[in-house]
Structure 1
Amino acid sequence: MSSSSSSSLPALTSLLQQSHIDDHDQILKAANTALKHSKADLDAQRIKIVALLKLDRFDDAIHAFNGGGDKLKERARLEYAYTLYKTGKPSEAAELAQHGDDRGYKHVAAQASYRTEDFRRAAELYQQLVAQPEDDAEADLRINSGAVDAQLEWAGQGDLVLKKKPGRQDLEAYETAYNAACGSIARGELGQGEVLLKRARDLCNALEDLGEEEKRAELLPIGVQQVYVLARQGRREQAEEMAREVGLEGIADASTRHIAQVNRIAASGAAGNPFMAQRLLAKGIRASEPDHPFRFQTSILDQNKYAIDLKSLKFSGTAESTAEILVKRQSPNLDAYYNSLSVINAAAYAKARTGKEALKHILPLLERRPNDVGLILTIVQLYVLTGNSASAINLLESFFGRLEKLSSAAEADMRFAPGLVGAMVSLYHNAGRRAPARRILANAAQHWRRRKAAERPSGAVHLLKAAGSALLDSPEPEHQHLATEIFSALHKEDDSDRYAAAGLLAASPSSAAPSSLTASLQPIDRLLSTLDTDALESTGIAQPASTTAVNTRKRPASDEQQTKPTKPKRIRTSRLPKDYDPSKVPDPERWLPLRDRSTYRPKGGKKGKAARQALLSQGSAPTAGGESEGSRPGTPGGAGAEVVKGKVPLGKGGGKRKGKR
């Protein structure tokens, strides 16, 4: 370092000691003055970058890092990681922050992981920071942790969220109330989300240290969420009024502005006109390109666009655009985004048809994409809706068979994915096939028990609980032993889980310690306090509906219709014969041929009488005293009977015919 730089450094140090938090401009000027004497002064360069970061001049800070070279980046690694995060490079920032052990690196790594949608990693980092509090602002940690929990719920990883119910501390600041509201909305608790959003709005309006512009900027995302909640609840008039109140002009964030426009279209009458909605949505898609939303938001926005295209009868374009994306993705996969595109692609080929007509157009796609999970589940759903559960079971079983032949770990994880296993078990239960349902649950439980808790997918814990509960009813000793191992492992992982404790107590009541298991369970007396045993005994046992009952579309007749006497049908006079007399009873044998009626008498005197007697005496035995009226010869040519002469029919074994001479 030159002498000029060494003389400028004490002046800069004295200026830093006399400065306050609001003197960043003066610090920046002093750093620039010091760098004029020595451009290679790393301390002055670092002080300049810190001042730029304090002034939110992140682009100037990244230019300073690029001008300072690798030595400056190594000297100010934390500042460089934070600058990368603020300039739209969160992946590089997260990778750089992993090499540091200081608390500041964890903050940067957590924020960068949040932006890269690695919410699991962000949650772990914030849990570490909260567990070891230091000089950090506790309120900031609570706000950031709440935001990560909300994103986990939105991303379908709600099982990683430790805190589900909002606490009193969450209602003290509008940021924490807003994050708690987002978590409730993601779980489908719209009523609670509406209350929390109203609380966040009231707290924000009550702040005195915020100006009107700052307050309006903070209220905009709250209003956008309120529009969404009101629209989901079916309160369209209130949602449309709230959308007009929010407006779109004052939203600076491009992605938030586009989402607000989508909610406004959904709440307005334009949603009923797909052509108008498509035109309005096309205006806002380009505006959100500089600031991309999260992936789950992008997936929902794409689904909205394709849904409007299908309603606008653009089947060919939708089928082609979705097919181009699906071709680039290897099948099978469990990605929710690509599986949803498979469903949209199938709907485009069906062309607004449902039931068996839709199956005729969708089944040919299965030959081209036999391992497309989204397509397979769509066909399974159509089979179930048309009452063809057997074909649905065969389709899923054949898909599982193809996955079983593949030996890679990825295919094994896909075969025992909680969602696919749940669909297969549900089909088995509807068909009354309990044994194969227990078998597939046992295989899936054995597969996921070999993995660590952090390596299991979302829903694996619920799958293990369902498997343990089903295996308890199995008569096989192996299944009983496996159920005990499942509930024992779940209870070991989380001893506060009541379901695991109850399952372990039911699976192994003798070996388990009753005191440790029943501590978290409700007493039996408390569970039975609201039950009326006399009423249950008088009601009897409800019998389940038979699964072999024939399904019919006819409505059963009501009790009144069954007991009500039927009126005689009135016959038209044009259909009655001319000599019809209503006082006379019609002959009941009028529909029989003449010779089959009891009043029939053949013509021909004795010959006719003999023929009639011969006809009526088939199979009777002759009596010793001759013939009588009740006993006649067994054959027409019997004793005392006159043979009726006539032409002899020709048979195969007859004699020779005489020809004419």
Structure 2
Amino acid sequence: MAASTASSLASLLKNSTLEEHEQILEACNKTLKTSNSDVEAQHVKAVALLKLDRYEEAVKFIQGAGDNLRRAAALEYAYALYKTGRLQEAVEASSQLQERGARHVEAQARYRLEDALKTLEIYERLRSQGSGNEELDLRVNRSAIDAQAQWLGVAESKSIRKTAREDLEAFETAYNAACGSIARGEYAQAEILLKRAKEICKHSDELTDQQRREELLPISVQQLFVLLCLGKSTEAEEVAREIKAEEALDASTRKVAQNNLLLTSSTDNPFLAYKVFHTTPKIPSEDKLFSYQDIPLKSNKTTLDLQAYKFDGLTAPTSKPARQYRPLSLAPDDLLSSYAQATARAKNETSKGAIRRILPMLEREPNSIGTIITLVQLYVLCGDSTSAVELLESFLKRLEESAAEDEQDTRFNPVLVSILISLYKHRGQRAHIKQELAKAASHWRTRSNPPASLLSAAGVSLLESHNEEDIKTASEIFAKLREQQPHDKATAAGYVASHVNAEDSQNQLDTDKLTAVGDLIRDVDVTVIENAGIPQSSNALAIAQLGTSRKRGAPNGVESKPKRIRKSRLPKDYDENKKPDPERWMPMKDRSYYRPPKGKKKGKRGGDTQGGVVNEDLNVDAKPAATTVATASAGNKKKKGKGKK
């Protein structure tokens, strides 16, 4: 009986096609009922389950069948683990195999785990071993990994490829090149590449109509995001009308599409936006988003929660005592959680009362960087930049005094350094800016992969100094940056400026990379600039054009109305028919009609200088004669009364 069943299974497998996996599965089940230890039948059943996309069932079957099947179907087992989202187990299972297919499974699993650098190594090894009919697949996957490495910020500037002609030959590579441009913030270039990818996909003869719609959907979703970033709202609305999020095959694409469509909607009702955002079902574990997708979506969800006044759900985690011992972290998840909790505590307010409600939260979680940043922002919004600087400086000083290396790295993290420099710039403390950048550069120069933007800013700041030590430090910084990113023009300019007095062949090579001065001033008309003279303010230019004043005069032939004077400013005995005294501005003693009171002689006209004419004959610079002590005493001495001593 078992022999006949096995022969029928072999016959079925020989004559089977790709559409008969259900029949193959039924035959395997019949065989395993009579001989449950038949490894060949078990192996065929595992493959049939994979072909039918029943991955979870395949994993359970292989695990329950024993070690013999796990060894025989090791590649199938690793692939099933990958498809069910058990990525780390898939990496461990596939890395122990020597097959080429196992390398593909390992690369895909590591790609989902965002291990971009290791994935790049695997694909480089596969390409060096010969690609054969996998050339297009390897190029597509390699371009996807390049984009991911840039999204994660782990790609070295030397390894970033520019868009090549071969990238424009297939819509997959054009799409991945566009994703790389988005990661670098080059949205205009990404828009061009996405249009190219969409055009190739629409006219592809290798795709059915259903496949074409499935491939065009993620391209349109990405195109919508790029247009929103470029501020092209009209074009974004046209693309949004093409997107039908419900047609997406996977939940992750559906979620991203729904989020981008929500950004183009004109609804101002936060409760309606909250409802639309949560219409998509929960994303399963095997289809989870990448971190650079997940963080923005979580941020949008938190924003909608706050706008819908769902404060209790955001503030509840702060009541747990264990959070008091949370370590220092600048991870996006931790920062977003702290921002949300602090904002919920403040109940969306930006007043001093909101600050008072957040401060107890900082006392419980002194290492919460997100809470500190939120308080700094609130202090600035309330006009109290002094408290903002003091709060951040005290936190950074505590980290600086620590002996732990990770706390030192956190102290000079570009995020915190840039916030402190922004506060110093707001307060006009230029010396503090230079000092902070110099300290950050001194710390990161000893590290293998320092933040280039921070070192570049420190180098530029030090170049403005007249101190030889600062110039020397700047030259060392730009020399290190040139090794890290040799094709960057800003780095080349800094290197040339810091080595201006050095006779170096490399200096000349970097000078040749820069744009020539003649090209920079090609469109400048020197004659026009000279004739324009010194720039003047708009007020001065208006006065020069009108002659005397910017005030407009009355039109010709029209008499101007006399200015109306309020009664409160007029004297009580004011008579508009009476002519004002022409000498009313002169001191009373200097007026022509002044007569001194009886018993007093009229003083010499012009004796007093205040308000009158100065007599040049008087020696106003001469010192008055000193009065003798005896005379002064005699004048102040009182006559004693009788009988008094």
Note if 1:222 corresponds to 2:219.
yes
Residue matched to 1:552: none
Letter in 2 for 1:317: D
Identify if the C-alpha distance between structure 1 residues 308 and 21 changes in structure 2 by more than 3 Å, giving closer, same or farther. closer
Matched residue SS, 2:247: coil
Post-superposition offset of 1:558: 6.8
Residues 16-27 of structure 1 correspond to what in structure 2 (within 5 A)? none
Output the CA distance in 1 between the equivalents of 2:235 and 2:325: 42
Note if 1:484 corresponds to 2:475.
yes
Identify if the C-alpha distance between structure 1 residues 601 and 278 changes in structure 2 by more than 3 Å, giving closer, same or farther. same
Residue matched to 1:648: none
Residue matched to 1:470: 461
Identify if the C-alpha distance between structure 1 residues 467 and 129 changes in structure 2 by more than 3 Å, giving closer, same or farther. farther
Matched residue SS, 1:283: coil
The answer as to whether partners of 2:493 and 2:511 remain within 8 angstroms in 1 is no
1:246 pairs with 239, 243, 247, which one? 243
Note if 1:317 corresponds to 2:312.
yes
Residues 493-504 of structure 1 correspond to what in structure 2 (within 5 A)? 493-504=484-495
The answer as to whether partners of 1:152 and 1:161 remain within 8 angstroms in 2 is no
Residue matched to 2:114: 117
Identify if the C-alpha distance between structure 1 residues 432 and 113 changes in structure 2 by more than 3 Å, giving closer, same or farther. same
Note if 1:513 corresponds to 2:502.
no
Output the CA distance in 1 between the equivalents of 2:360 and 2:592: 66
Letter in 1 for 2:471: Q
1:281 pairs with 273, 277, 284, which one? 277
Note if 1:571 corresponds to 2:565.
yes
Output the CA distance in 2 between the equivalents of 1:367 and 1:408: 22
Post-superposition offset of 1:417: 0.8
Output the CA distance in 2 between the equivalents of 1:59 and 1:426: 52
Output the CA distance in 1 between the equivalents of 2:270 and 2:550: 52
More deviation, 273-282/221-230: 221-230
Residue matched to 2:522: 530
Post-superposition offset of 1:520: 6.4
Letter in 1 for 2:255: H
Identify if the C-alpha distance between structure 1 residues 423 and 120 changes in structure 2 by more than 3 Å, giving closer, same or farther. farther
Residue matched to 1:66: 63
Residue matched to 2:291: 295
Q: Deviations over 1:243-283 (max 9, x none)?
A: 4543244233223223333333332233x111222223333
Note if 1:126 corresponds to 2:123.
yes
The answer as to whether partners of 2:94 and 2:105 remain within 8 angstroms in 1 is yes
More deviation, 499-508/22-31: 22-31
Note if 1:261 corresponds to 2:258.
yes
Residue matched to 2:622: none
Residue matched to 1:585: 581
Letter in 1 for 2:173: T
Matched residue SS, 2:447: coil
The answer as to whether partners of 1:190 and 1:233 remain within 8 angstroms in 2 is yes
Post-superposition offset of 1:480: 3.4
Matched residue SS, 2:326: coil
Note if 1:166 corresponds to 2:163.
yes
Q: Deviations over 1:118-171 (max 9, x none)?
A: 334334433444455433612112222232333344445566694464332222
2:410 pairs with 403, 410, 414, which one? 414
Letter in 2 for 1:380: V
Identify if the C-alpha distance between structure 1 residues 503 and 158 changes in structure 2 by more than 3 Å, giving closer, same or farther. same
Output the CA distance in 1 between the equivalents of 2:640 and 2:281: 101
The answer as to whether partners of 2:326 and 2:367 remain within 8 angstroms in 1 is no
Post-superposition offset of 1:477: 4.0
Letter in 2 for 1:484: S
Output the CA distance in 2 between the equivalents of 1:131 and 1:529: 48
Output the CA distance in 1 between the equivalents of 2:532 and 2:154: 43
Matched residue SS, 1:491: helix
How many pairs align?
604
Post-superposition offset of 1:56: 4.0
Post-superposition offset of 1:91: 1.8
Identify if the C-alpha distance between structure 1 residues 600 and 179 changes in structure 2 by more than 3 Å, giving closer, same or farther. same
Q: Deviations over 1:551-572 (max 9, x none)?
A: xxxx999747954389874224
Residue matched to 2:372: 376
Output the CA distance in 1 between the equivalents of 2:509 and 2:549: 56
Residue matched to 1:447: 443
1:424 pairs with 420, 423, 435, which one? 420
Identify if the C-alpha distance between structure 1 residues 413 and 248 changes in structure 2 by more than 3 Å, giving closer, same or farther. same
Note if 1:343 corresponds to 2:335.
no
Q: Which runs of 5+ in 2 are unaligned?
A: 554-559, 609-625
Output the CA distance in 2 between the equivalents of 1:315 and 1:29: 53
Residues 519-558 of structure 1 correspond to what in structure 2 (within 5 A)? 521-522=513-514, 524=516, 527=519, 530=522, 532=524, 534=526, 538=530
Post-superposition offset of 1:416: 1.1
Note if 1:140 corresponds to 2:132.
no
Letter in 2 for 1:514: Q
The answer as to whether partners of 1:366 and 1:375 remain within 8 angstroms in 2 is yes
Output the CA distance in 1 between the equivalents of 2:637 and 2:73: 118
Matched residue SS, 1:73: helix
The answer as to whether partners of 1:502 and 1:517 remain within 8 angstroms in 2 is no
Output the CA distance in 2 between the equivalents of 1:413 and 1:535: 53
Output the CA distance in 1 between the equivalents of 2:415 and 2:29: 60
The answer as to whether partners of 2:595 and 2:602 remain within 8 angstroms in 1 is no
2:300 pairs with 299, 304, 321, which one? 304
What is the alpha-carbon root mean square deviation over aligned residues? Answer: 4.9
Q: Deviations over 1:303-333 (max 9, x none)?
A: 2233223333x16436525746994882532
The answer as to whether partners of 1:376 and 1:396 remain within 8 angstroms in 2 is yes
Output the CA distance in 2 between the equivalents of 1:300 and 1:516: 44
Matched residue SS, 1:88: coil
Post-superposition offset of 1:339: 1.7
Output the CA distance in 2 between the equivalents of 1:65 and 1:484: 62
Residue matched to 1:622: none
Q: Which runs of 5+ in 1 are unaligned?
A: 546-554, 618-633, 640-650
More deviation, 395-404/243-252: 243-252
Q: TM-score, normalised by structure 1?
A: 0.74
